Amino acid sequence: MKTARTPSSKRYQALLQLLRTADTLWNSSRIFFARWDLSPSQFNVLNLVNDKPDGMSQIELGRQLIMHRSNVTGLIDRLEARGLVQRKDADRDRRAYRIVVTPAGAKLVRQIVPQYYRLAEDVWNGFSVATADRWEYDLKRLAANAGKIATSKEAS
């Protein structure tokens, strides 16, 4: 007999499969970006700042990437050492920087993006756009539920 705290077998199996899938996607992206000596996170930084002529602050990047500021700093340090991004003083706050893509970084993004989008389409092979839309909606709901749990545990 199931207790109230035992998840349904189907829901539990679905969560495990979601975690396996996320791990597989992450590993596949690591392999894909390795040919450019980038991590998926480094590409995400480049891709985010590439469309922002004024750049982004490290705080904005951290929020978009869902990572701690200290991790963002390390990513930017490595990208800056390769000449792919640079820190520019923020106009209104001398203590802050805006992260902007360099011409070399923009060129690299232009080289990677078409291949990246093509592979993203391959991942969705056999699935309709409507299915992808539904998954996006459902995964946002799952993330919100998980976020509530994390928030309530931190508050206790």
Q: Which pTM does this prediction carry? A: 0.81
Task: Indicate the pLDDT class of residue 3, thresholds 50, 70 and 90.
Answer: low
Measuring CA to CA, which residue among 53, 52, 79, 78 is closest to residue 64?
52
Cβ neighbours of 1 (radius 10 Å): 3
Using an 8 Å Cβ cutoff, are 96 and 57 in contact? yes
Segment 44-54, tens digit of pLDDT: 999 999 999 88
Task: Indicate the pLDDT class of residue 6, thresholds 50, 70 and 90.
Answer: low
Segment 68-124, tens digit of pLDDT: 777 889 999 999 999 999 998 877 766 678 999 999 999 999 999 999 999 999 999
Using an 8 Å Cβ cutoff, are 122 and 113 in contact? no
Cβ neighbours of 102 (radius 10 Å): 17
Is 1's pLDDT higher than 70? no
| Pairwise CA distance, residues 140 & 56, whole Å | 24
End-to-end Cα spacing for the chain = 30
Segment 136-151, tens digit of pLDDT: 999 999 999 988 887 7
- Say whether 51 sits in a helix, a strand or coil: coil
